[in-house]
Amino acid sequence: QQQVKQSPQSLIVQKGGISIINCAYENTAFDYFPWYQQFPGKGPALLIAIRPDVSEKKEGRFTISFNKSAKQFSLHIMDSQPGDSATYFCAASERTDKLIFGTGTRLQVFP
């Protein structure tokens, strides 16, 4: 019940395309859903986050869509750029408890 399932494991997108990464969870007590971006040799960095009282949050080219009834949330990267090539992790937490991370998606954006 504590798991966060992430897909796909890897994703190849052409420059200018839309990248979509999906996550699903079981614990209905989760109330915070962040996405982290990790470049090679670096630690994960917070990209964008959402709470379950809204269905969508947008920051620049990055959008989180949240479906509370389906217990799913996704990251959309519009106009994907080669500089977006990185590993992306979804995560979830219950109140102020520890974050539970998904298994990661390696995104490659080709020119």
Partner 1 sequence: DAGVIQSPRHEVTEMGQEVTLRCKPISGHDYLFWYRQTMMRGLELLIYFNNNVPIDDSGMPEDRFSAKMPNASFSTLKIQPSEPRDSAVYFCASSLPAAYGYTFGSGTRLTVV
User: Is 37 an interacting residue with respect to partner 1 (CB under 8 A)?
Assistant: no
Chosen residue from 69, 70, 83, 98 binding partner 1 by CB under 8 A = 98
Chosen residue from 46, 54, 56, 59 binding partner 1 by CB under 8 A = 46
CA distances from 16 to 19, 43, 64, 71, 108 (A): 9, 26, 18, 29, 12
User: Is 1 an interacting residue with respect to partner 1 (CB under 8 A)?
Assistant: no
User: Is 56 an interacting residue with respect to partner 1 (CB under 8 A)?
Assistant: no
Instruction: Extract the tokens encoding 78.
Output: 């519009």
With CB under 8 A as the rule, give the number of residues binding partner 1: 21
Q: HSE of 42 in the Cβ direction (CA atoms, 13 Å)?
A: 11
User: Is 105 an interacting residue with respect to partner 1 (CB under 8 A)?
Assistant: no
Nearer to partner 1, 17 or 48 (CB): 48
User: Is 93 an interacting residue with respect to partner 1 (CB under 8 A)?
Assistant: yes
User: Is 111 an interacting residue with respect to partner 1 (CB under 8 A)?
Assistant: no
The two beta strands, 105-110 and 86-92, are antiparallel
Give the residues lining the site for partner 1 (CB under 8 A): 31-32, 34, 41-46, 49, 89, 93, 95-99, 101-104
